[in-house]
Structure 1
Amino acid sequence: MEQETPLLNNCEASNTTHDTPDDDGIHLTAASERNEKTWRRIDHRTLLLNCLWTLLPRYLHPEGRKEYSKAKLHPTAYLDAVRGYAAVIVFFYHGWKETTLWVFRLPFIRTFILGGPGMVAVFFVISGYVLSYRMLKLIRNQESALLLDAFSSSMFRRWLRLYGSTSVATFIAACCVSLGWFIPLPDLAQPTFLAQMWNWLLSTIAFSNPFANIDGWMHPGVFFTPYLGQMWTIPIEYRGSIILFCFAISAAKLSVRSRMLYLWVVVLLCYFWRCVYIPEFLLGMFIAELSFLRHPERLGRPTLPMEENEKLSSRHSKLWQLSKAIATPIGSSIALVIGILLLGQPDPPNLGAAGPFPFQYLVHFIPPWFGDAAYTFWLSIGAFLVILALDSCTILQQPFTWGFSQYIGDLSFGIYAIHVLWIDVLYLKVLVPWQAIYLGDSYPAYIPGILVLSICMMWSADYFRRVDRLIVNLSRWLQTISFQKWQ
């Protein structure tokens, strides 16, 4: 290192310098004393630079970019990026769903700006796929002991994984409420900070009740935390996860064909009961089943899966024939286009004869008993088709395997959890008034504010991800010290 050279020179010069005692009575040469001061300045400067470097988003670090290299990707890593971009669309939806710019309301385009409700369905389908993937692998390999371990671990850690990170987000919101920066509900603010924290604690305990009655769709009386209204999806995510785990265990001993038949029976019944979030999780599991049919090498032992594939591709397996048809680039592209179109469904007040194409016609095919849950019907089917298309065609997955896409996927929970805070605290209260004074109200005038808001939101989501990883590690640590190993 370059700093080592002065140290050697000072050692050589020590024979001609006079000794000076330090505060502790230890004699140091004048050159050594100068060297110590130099290193102290270097250490302080290095420490400061390291601290500033740490504050930057991880994607700006060289090591951070290497972390997202394609060589290390799991076959289903593209789903993380899909979830990240879905969170970004929710951010656009909550910030600019009232936009009057006509181009954002065109079919297909509206999905990427106004498709927030559809992205929630995408979240649930992806969760069903990801959470069931390992269990299905163990079921197909008939590894019952490891399956029990996986089931127990997933059930044990799921509550803390979801509600732990959510409580961090609501705590930040509670602090903003106490400061008067963020008032989501009129009566939420408390007279003192301690009273606000007590209110937040009681709200968090009530919100994290796993036995609470939930309907599974957004309406005025939905079960949610008053500090962050968009987190109404977390109780549904938890309930859907537990149902998925229980279904996987109940179907573990079934053959592949029987398990798929069982799955579709439950899916159809849940549509009849208008519990649409459960089919969304189970349809994700169904897509994972198809992925193992197409890629038996992912099971780690190709002999048995090849025999299963021969059985499933016989004349009795229409499902395999359909899977092969969808897996072609043309079939996947058609499914993707239809899915994106359906995910652009307007909000319930506009879901009818006055809605955009083709929903003025599709609304008549929604079962009449759905009532205020009617908007969930086509969104669930659209989310299923999009994930099915992406999983069936590796060409369509490529944009989601890029390093930046993987980074966005890593930030998905943080983007979803805190974007409303930034919209309300920074954009509406600071940037919009500044824009009105200096830039006017033309459409280009909104661009600087949107860019500043997006940078701040992404940056804070990077920090939130670090806290989220601490909670994940905490759940793993609790599992490690609590679980006992069976012989």
Structure 2
Amino acid sequence: MKSATLRGLRQLLWPKSTGSLEGAKPPRPTAYLDGLRGFAAFLVYIHHHQLWAHSSRQRVILENAWGWDGEYHLATFHGIRNFFIGGHIAVAVFFVISGYVLSVKPLSLIHAGEHLKLFDNLASAFFRRWFRLYIPLIITTLVYVTSWHLFGIWNAACEPKQTIGEELWNWYVQFKNFSFLFKEGWPWVDYNAHLWSIPLEMRGSLIIFTACIALSRATTKARLLCLLALVFYFLYVVDGYYCAYFVAGMLQCDLDLLAKSDGYFPRFLRRLEPYKTVIYYHLFFIGMYLGGVPAETTKFERLQESPGWQWLSYLKPQAVFDYKWFYLFFGGNIMVACAPRIGWLKRFFESRFCQFLGRIAFALYLVHGPILYTLGDRVYYAVGFVREANDGHEKVAHWANLFPLPKTGPLGLEIAFLLPNIILLPLTLWTAEFVTRMVDEPAVKFSAWLYKQIQGGAAPEPRPVELAPLMRVE
């Protein structure tokens, strides 16, 4: 019985190593990216739950380096900390993967010299992108805010308005400003603060589409140099860190496509081919280290005081305001580069577990916050975790210590933290699956359908009337 259970678990996580899936289809060439994106979304879930459940002092400890202020915990140790507080490196991975995936087809067409097909591809992708990102956001936040008034559900994220009419108006005002990509200031929506990255995702998408058009007729060497120059500009000259992530993802994609072709490929990279295993293992550990950059504050002095980061702090360029995004740029790119080149890592991201997470990743990102703000807040309160902001609030006061659990165990692995997730994690994954099927996938189909509609069924348009001869001055 025990042996069968272990085989089943191994088959779930390592399907390629079992030999029992003879009829299974081989994974797509970029399936590992889906798994990496899904696992990154899972890290975001863990990160936000860690910060929500623990006290303000514990949150400061978790977000700082191992050994800061004399605090030494497993959850803050180099590399390991990414599995407790890895939401920041996860966002970096999201952006790099997006730059990679969005540019795969356009770059393939550029390499093939199919410029007319390139235009069609970019026109379709450009049109569909906003709808694909914002329709799920609109529906999930709208359902969330109306539930407060229809079912009397209080949430810990923000105080509900007096009436549902006021709530819907406030939701509309926030969303219309949030949806405008060029709005000054930081993109934010009170109803789900975790959605701040969506406008940056859209802006980065526009940069990729624009770069594909601008460099479509450049030589291979010139295109690579231009992408490298853009990365340098966004990271070292101006504070456009997220733009650098997207362009770096496009650069990685271009190099991967070139490596598979017989065309130009940087000679110095070819010379490193025999040593790639050693190189990528070293890069993996470097990326894990950089991914755990202290992130409790944006004050650069804190980084300089952090054990293990004093010398690395001198690398930060003047342009970057929030220092963590500079180090996460390298950590995120290294993770994406290493994923297909380290065998066991690629197999893990191609496993059923990670592929499932990859399929629901966007929905998981959208719904884990609202569930945490409502049910999660109450469950953690019931087992003994008290958030200072909610302590004694009339809406949740009766939940306090209903089922107290011991807080024994290492920081981040307390019994009182792990047991509630027996309920919260499956519920969140089920909700994400439901939203994927009922909202996310239909949004993708709707955007594709809408694009076909504006094309008029792809029927050729009549020739426009030539106005030039009529306007000629005799």
Q: Using structure 2 for the length normalisation, give the TM-score.
A: 0.78
Q: Which residue of 1 aligns with 2:251?
A: 286
CA distance in 1, matches of 2:221, 2:93: 25
Partner of residue 118, structure 2? 147
Deviation at 1:325, TM superposition (A): 5.9
2:268 aligned to which of 314, 318, 324: 318
* 2:286 corresponds to: 338
State the distance in 2 between where 1:418 and 1:412 align: 10
Q: Which residue of 1 aligns with 2:305?
A: 354
2:274 & 2:254 partners in 1: Cα distance? 16
TM-superposed CA distance for 1:213, in Å, is: 2.7
- Give the match for residue 5 of structure 1: none
In structure 1, the residue matched to 2:165 is: 194
Helix, strand or coil at the partner of 2:217:
coil
What code does the residue aligned with 2:255 have? L
Give, in angstroms, the shift of residue 456 of structure 1.
0.8
Query: Partners of 1:477 and 1:486 in 2: how far apart?
Result: 15
Partner of 2:240, secondary structure, is coil
Superposed structure 1 runs of 4+ greater than 4 Å apart:
98-101
Aligned residue number for residue 17 of structure 2: none
The 5 A counterparts of 1:426-465 are 426-434=375-383, 436=401, 437-442=403-408, 443-465=414-436
- The code of the aligned residue for 2:40 comes to A
- 1:103/1:348 CA distance change after superposition, 3 Å: closer
Q: Does 1:246 align with 2:243?
A: no
Which residue among 25, 38, 60 is the counterpart of 1:84?
38
* 1:400 to 2:349 alignment: yes
The one-letter code of the counterpart of 2:265 is L
Gap regions ≥5 residues in structure 1: 1-58, 60-66, 215-221, 297-305
Aligned to 1:473: 445
* C-alpha distance 379-140 of structure 1, shift in aligned 2 (>3 A): same
1:422-444 CA distance string (max 9 Å, x none): 22211221343145434233322
1:59-78 alignment to 2 at 5 Å? 71-78=25-32
- 1:182 paired with 2:159, answer no
- Structure of higher RCO (CA pairs closer than 8 Å, 6+ residues apart): 2
Q: Is contact 2:406–2:415 with CA below 8 Å preserved after alignment?
A: no
Give a deviation string over 1:299-355, Cα, whole Å, max 9, x none.
Answer: xxxxxxx2x1xx436xxx334445x367x2222211111111111112143842332
Tell me, in whole angstroms, the C-alpha distance in 1 between the residues paired with 2:435 and 2:145: 16
Among 101, 105, 108, the alignment partner of 1:130 is 101
Cα distance in structure 1, aligned partners of 2:404 and 2:296: 37
| Residues in 1 aligned to 2:187 and 2:380: alpha-carbon distance in whole angstroms | 32
Q: Deviations over 1:245-284 (max 9, x none)?
A: 0001101111221110010111111111120111100111
CA distances 1:195-242 after superposition (whole Å, capped 9, x unpaired): 21222122222211133235xxxxxxx221111101010110000100
Is 1:412 paired with 2:366?
Answer: no
Letter matched to residue 264 of structure 1:
L
The 2-side partners of 1:70 and 1:256 are apart by: 38
What per-residue deviation string (whole Å, max 9, x for no partner) do you get for residues 374-420 of structure 1? 22100111101111112344553111111221111011111111111
CA distance in 2, matches of 1:118, 1:273: 21
> How far is 1:183 from its partner?
4.0
Say which SS state the counterpart of residue 391 (structure 1) adopts: coil
Give the letter aligned to residue 95 of structure 1: H
2:227 counterpart (263, 275, 290): 263
Residues 1:156 and 2:127 are matched in the alignment: yes
Specify which structure has the higher proportion of helix: 1
What amino acid is the match of 1:355?
A: S
What is the CA-CA distance between 1:72 and the residue it aligns to? 5.0
Structure 2 segments unaligned to the other structure (5+ residues): 1-11, 13-20, 63-72, 385-400, 409-413, 461-474
Q: Which amino acid aligns with 2:417?
A: Y
| Structure 1 residues 406 and 425: alpha-carbon distance in aligned structure 2, compared to 1, 3 A threshold | same
Q: Structure 2: how far apart are the matches of 1:348 and 1:432?
A: 24
Change (3 A) 1:379 1:421: same
Matched letter for residue 429 of structure 2: M
Separation in structure 1 between the aligned mates of residue 284 and residue 222 of structure 2, nearest angstrom: 28
Count of aligned positions = 394
Match of 1:285, as an amino acid? M
Equivalent position to 1:237, from 201, 223, 226: 201
How high is the TM-score relative to the length of structure 1?
A: 0.76
Contact 2:208/2:247, CA 8 A, preserved across alignment: yes
CA distance in 2, matches of 1:72, 1:171: 39
CA distance in 1, matches of 2:85, 2:351: 25
**Residue pairs, 1:270-281, within 5 angstroms:** 270-271=234-235, 272-281=237-246
Equivalent residue number for residue 227 of structure 1: 191
Q: Deviations over 1:103-147 (max 9, x none)?
A: 111111101111211211110000000000011111101111211
- What is the CA deviation profile of residues 430-472 of structure 1, one whole-angstrom value per residue up to 9, with x for unaligned ones? 3431454342333223322022111111110101111100111
Name whichever of 390-399 and 72-81 sits farther off.
Answer: 390-399
SS across alignment from 1:360: coil
Contact 1:325/1:331 (CA < 8 Å) preserved in 2? Answer: no
Number of the residue aligned with 1:329: 277
User: What whole-Å deviation, never above 9, does each CA across 1:21-69 have from its counterpart, x for those lacking one?
Assistant: xxxxxxxxxxxxxxxxxxxxxxxxxxxxxxxxxxxxxx9xxxxxxx9x8
State the distance in 1 between where 2:83 and 2:407 align.
23
Q: Does 1:368 align with 2:340?
A: no
Instruction: Pick which of 428-437 and 447-456 moved more.
Output: 428-437
2:294 is paired with a residue whose SS is: coil
2:371 aligned partner: 422
Q: 1:150 to 1:393 in 2, by over 3 A?
A: farther
Q: Look up the equivalent residue of 2:310 and give its one-letter code.
A: Q
